[in-house]
Structure formats: C-alpha cells, structure tokens
Amino acid sequence: MICLLIFILPITNVSAQNYEFKVTRYEVEAYIESDGTLTLKYLMDFKNSPSGKPIDFVDLGLPYAEYQVKNISAQINEIPITHIQNSEYVHGVELGLKNNAIPSGATGVVTANVYGITKFLTPYDGEDKENFANFQFTPSYFDSSFDRSNNTQYRMTIILPPGVGTDQGVYYKPGKFPQTQEVEASTTTDGRVYYSWYSDEADTHTSYLFGAAFPASTVPSNAIGVTFNSGNNQGSSSSFWSEILSCTPCLFGLIPLAIFIAAVIKNAKNAKDHEKRKMEYLPPKISIEGHGIKRGLTAVEAGILMEQPIDRILTMILFGVIKKDAVMVAQKEPLEILVKDPMPADLHEYEKSFILAFKSKDKEARRRALRSTIIDLVKVVTDKMKGFSVPETVAYYKDIVARAWSSVEGSATPEVKMATYEKALEWTMLDKEYGPRTERTFSGGPVILPRWWGRYDPVYRSGGGVLSSPKPSSSPSTTTSRPLSIPGADFAASMVNNASAMTASLIGNVGVFTGSVTSRTNPIPAQPRSGGGFRGGGGGGSSCACACACAGCACACAGGGR
C-alpha cells in the first residue's frame, strides 16, 4: 500500500489577523563551524504599521535538524529577550517581546543567535566533485497575511568552515531570490571563505533557498548525514522507505500504484534532466531580452554563446594558438606543448590563459587552470552580450558558420580549399556536423597540408629538419624532406579524432569538467518540493521532513511565523 502525503492548510486565528508590519532590513549569517555544527545569526528590522497591533511575538523558523532552545539568545533593540520557547506555529522558536513589544507605527530591531545546530549536512551528490559536503538553507520567513514587506534590504551569507580553500567551495544559484547584485565570494578577516547574496527587491514572506558545498574533510565525518536520493536512481531502497516511514504522522489515505510508478519515471527523467542541466554553463542573465546583434565576437566567443561542448571550445583555442605560432605540440597524449618565447602580441586573453595553464606539470592543477580559463571566458561573453539579443546574435554567427563551410566546399582547387579552410577553421568547428562534414570534404583525395601542420603533428615533424612550419618545396628549408600532402582521410581523422583525443587527455571526463564550470557560472538551483513551515496565528500547520529536489541535499527548511 502506498501512502498519500497530504498537507494540512493553516488555520488562522482571528485575533491575530490585525498584525501588519514590514521588515525593511533582513540579514542572515550561517556559519558552518569546524566541529560540524551550524551557527545562525539573524538581524530583523521591523516597521510596524500604524494600524497594526503591537508586535509582541516573533516566530523564528529553524532547520529540520537538531538544536536546543537553551543554545538560542535574542535581543529587541539590544535588550535581552528572556521568553524563548518552542513555537506553537512553526518548526522553531517564539521570541516573546513582552514589555518591549514594538508599538503600532514604531520600529524595532530584533537579533537572534542560534548555536550548536547539528545534522544539517549531507553528502554532495554531483559527479563533478568527490568527498564534498552539501549545505542548503531557507531563512525564516513570515506569513504574508501579516508581512507587507517589499523591497527589503535582504542579505544572506554562508560562511564555510576554516580550511576551505578559495578555489574549493561552490555555491548554488538561490531559489526564487530576486538577486540585484552579483554573489560576493570572498574571505573573512580570519581567512574563511564566504558567499553573500543581496537584493533590495526581496521580501520576508517568500521562502528563498541558498546553498553551498565544500570539501568534507574540513568537518568531522560524523557531521555529514545521508538523505533520500530524490534526484537520480543511485539512492538505496532502504533510504526511500525510511523517508516514507519518517513521515508516517502526517500520512494518510491511499493512492493508486500508477501514481507511484509515475513518480519513479519522473525521478528517472529528473536524473536525465539534471545531467543535461550540468552542461548548460551560460548564466541565465545572459538570456535577459536585449535588442540587436552583437558583432565582433571571435569564433571561440561565439562558441561560448552557443554553449558548444567545452572540449570543442578548448580544441578551438588549441588550434588558434598553433595557427598563430605561439605553441607547438610536443606530445599528443597526454597533451604537452612547447611555448614560443616571446609569445605573439596578437593573442587573446583566453589564449594566454590557456597557454599559462601548461606551466603546471600537475594534472589537477592544470585542469583547475583550464577551468578558470573557461569561467573567465564565459564572464567575458556575458558582459559583451549585455543589451544585445542572444537569439539574433546566435542566428548571425550560425550564418557565418554556414558561409564558412560553403566557401571551403565550393573551392575550385585543393590549394584554394586548404587556404580557405585554414582561415575559417575555428568557424567550421562550430558546425554541429563538424566531424562528418570534415570527413566528407577532405576524404576524396590527397590534401595539401596547412602551413602550421608541423606545429600540430609531432609525428610529421619527426621526419627531420627544423621545427618550423612546412614551407613550399621551392624554399630552401629542411622541411622539404617531409611530404606537403597526405591522404585526405588521414587528414580528416587527425583533425577530428586526434584533436579531440588531445583535449580529452587534458580535462578527463567532459561531463565532470563541464559540471565543475557550470557550478561556478550557472550553479544548478536546488528547489524544495514543498514549502517551509506554516504560520497559523493561533492555528497550526503540518508538514513532513523537508523534501529537497536534489539527491542528498541538506533539508534545512525553516517555516515562517509572526
């Protein structure tokens, strides 16, 4: 038998209906401590309505984790609040202001500190990182029947444990949060990494979801729990049924087996969508409607705008620096390059960054540097697209790609074909049929090699002589001992397969590498499937343990109140 989860709607107490206030400033800080506990600090600036009754209680919703009331302190206008008890209306506590209630038409500042919260961390479930801990949190919010907030100066800050490196933490895109500033990612005065989100268009009656992940080694292993895997099919069946059974007090009724099967199918689809979403590395703000075409992008930048696979982007950059005589391939797999000194002056910043990544001989350090190259490139393209139409611009560059291939395919002689291909190489790589089209175009007979082939193919170079580009046979150079043409099929295979293999040797699993970029440029939002607690004003609400949309996410849901 399958149980149906039914949420009971809150019953509002008539006597509490004349609460009416705004929260003009709302600041929340969540400190993940080295011992694996959570410290929460709230600052709430209330403005009571002239027609509202005095604010005598404030309900503070807390995470569905473990905490003790004795570890909570609060103040109203810097006066200690002595009445701190479990709330009758939300999962959390009530702060009784007593004689210090905020009168009608007056203002008051309430602060609260909650120490020693445990069992709020879960394992990170993404494939892009191993041995990471996951934290997600919804700050307390109020019932919209009483809260008239709008344009609240709202700031949420997550401070990671000591020991997390500046390039180790990741943050998630806030759920539903009307962010008006870029996330602030920096360090505290004592060196702790933090992420801070701000908006002056938020309110305090909407539940917003924030989150971050960090190396699990920075907290005790027993601080990280396990939750039901609702995002993919990797969770165990025991965790599924334990989640169902944990909700027994608020489960009743029956549902057909078909609904259960549909839920399983939906979970499988969600897993597939989750994987697809990890490949979408462009930030959503780039899709804000603009007007006109942004001309002047390089082929690589256009590839970013089209969200081409990142391994394709890196291959394009590799060919670009080879063509500019900035580097020479010393070894194909794993890829090693020799850098020309001095480097050419016409390199783009992303080309310089790509080359500098090879300074490190450590594989992981090199991958981190390449990831930074792509992240910076995404930011540059995002900035360049401000005010322009993405659909119009993408269509414009797709037309350039189509015309580039038409020019190559329509060339009258092999010499003209190769000269055209050399010039348009990076643009041709943006065609979704680049591989098959390259094979069809060049497999018909011998191909005259491009001028930079010697810098690309160390096997070709090993034929003897200098390490420069091959020159025509009429030129006095030792490169004349090498062939100036090869079978077209070999050329196509090298351009498509060998180049891809070289890039793969750099970044490893493409999905994992792309996911690590997406986690910085377009973090995957994790939305809860159900809201936080209810504020009944004398009645009550009922909900089960928070169910989150990602596998293993921390169910840190906090309900609203008075």
Q: Which residue has the higher pLDDT, 509 or 177?
A: 177
Buried b (16+ CB within 10 A) or exposed e, 208-221: bbbbbbbbbebbee
Domains and CATH numbers, the chain: 20-223 (2.60.40.1730), 237-278 (no CATH), 286-521 (no CATH)
Answer yes or no: pTM beyond 0.85.
no
For residue range 88-128, list pLDDT tens digits in order: 888 899 999 999 999 999 999 999 999 999 999 999 877 77
Instruction: Supply the pLDDT for residue 277.
Output: 46
Q: Can you tell me the distance from the alpha carbon of 316 to that of 318, in angstroms, rounded to the nearest whole number? A: 5
Region of poorest pLDDT, from 83-97, 170-184, 423-437, 519-533: 519-533
- Taking residues 502-517, report their average pLDDT: 84
pLDDT given for residue 284 in this prediction: 57
How, if at all, do strands 92-96 and 83-86 pair?
antiparallel
Instruction: Tell me what the mean pLDDT of segment 523-529 comes to.
Output: 41
Q: What is the pLDDT of residue 299?
A: 97
Does 561 score more than 50 pLDDT?
Answer: yes
Q: Is 51 left (phi over 0), alpha (psi -120 to 50) or beta?
A: alpha
Q: What number is the average pLDDT over the span 450-458?
A: 93
Helix, strand, coil percentages, rounded to 5, for the chain: 35, 25, 40
Contact between 57 and 19 under an 8 Å Cβ cutoff? The reply is no
More confident residue, 247 or 164: 164
- Contact yes or no for 400/427 (Cβ under 8 A): yes
Pairing of strands 152-159, 21-32: parallel
pLDDT tens per residue across span 213-229: 999 999 999 999 854 33
Is the model's pLDDT at 300 over the cut of 90?
A: yes
d(CA 294, CA 516): 28
Average pLDDT for 529-543:
29
Identify which has the larger pLDDT, 483 or 390. Answer: 390
Query: Quick one: pLDDT band at residue 547, thresholds 50, 70, 90?
Result: very low
